[in-house]
A = this chain, B = another copy of it.
């Protein structure tokens, strides 16, 4: 039953991260034809923004070493956006050589994660991003900035809101068009999310330039999304079937499943353009390829109990 809730947007853009963020931690390399079929099916289900891969060094993330091959074979359409993660200038070179028109850079709100993930301080990472964004913009490429660990960090604990605002502001000042707030370890709750969005707004980064990126590690992803929508955000990152998350913790701690998000938005009468049945079928197909069930509640609920496909 569709029953609107006051204060929510009429339309939400889902930024699908399954092919990149979802698959990147998979140990067994997924063949490029399976990845291509995955993206094609996601697009056929109505998703219009799909982060497809990353131009990270192949040794760091072997799963995404086929970035060029994948982009070569993906279906193209004027209304389909395929942003690609770009860690540095070498990645940008590869992206530009392959005709990529939208990129994402990936920063950290905390020093510890910047050091561990980027092998740099936060200052050094922003210095690394500066020429990437400048050159991308000079080429007419749209740039998204991820800021990770916006609520908590496994090593540092709680992350102060001011810290996130500071890092986010510096990344946006480089010339990025969109900021994705990543609660990478899923510890945040709705008040914290609301406070972050309000603090960013006060610092000049309004909710029209924000996206939210939640992990369901503690079951909070959808409640946090609801809070973000009420605070004016209209772009929500999600991963088909809930793919992704920490590989050492099984299938339970991945990204917000796109299906669970679409179920809520459908019920709220918020337009996403997504065909839920096609999406669920796609996630069941991918779960079958990966050899384990999807952690998405909606995928589980809409699959036969004897699921084997």
Interface residues, chain A, CB within 8 Å of chain B? 1-5, 8, 151-152, 158-159, 186-192, 194-195, 216-220, 222-223, 225-227, 248-250, 252-253, 257, 260, 263-264, 266-269, 296-298, 300-301, 305
A222 to B159, CA, bound (A): 23
Identity of the chain B residue whose Cβ is nearest the Cβ of A253 in the assembled complex: B301
Q: What are the residues of chain B within 8 A of A305 when measuring CB–CB?
A: 248-250
A218 to B267, CA, bound (A): 11
A226 to B187, CA, bound (A): 16
Given contacts A189-B268, A264-B190, contact A249 B300 (CB under 8 A): yes
Tell me whether A219 and B218 are in contact (CB under 8 A): no
Q: What are the residues of chain B within 8 A of A220 when measuring CB–CB?
A: 222, 260, 263-264, 267
A-B contact pairs, 27 of them (CB 8 A): A1-B151, A1-B158, A1-B159, A3-B192, A3-B194, A5-B190, A5-B191, A189-B266, A189-B268, A217-B297, A218-B260, A218-B263, A218-B297, A219-B257, A219-B263, A219-B264, A219-B298, A220-B222, A220-B263, A223-B223, A226-B226, A226-B227, A248-B305, A249-B300, A250-B305, A252-B297, A253-B300
Q: What are the residues of chain B within 8 A of A218 when measuring CB–CB?
A: 260, 263, 297-298, 301
Q: What are the residues of chain B within 8 A of A260 when measuring CB–CB?
A: 218-220
A216 to B253, CA, bound (A): 16
Q: What are the residues of chain B within 8 A of A151 when measuring CB–CB?
A: 1
Nearest first, the 3 closest Cβ-Cβ pairs linking A and B are A189-B267, A219-B297, A219-B260
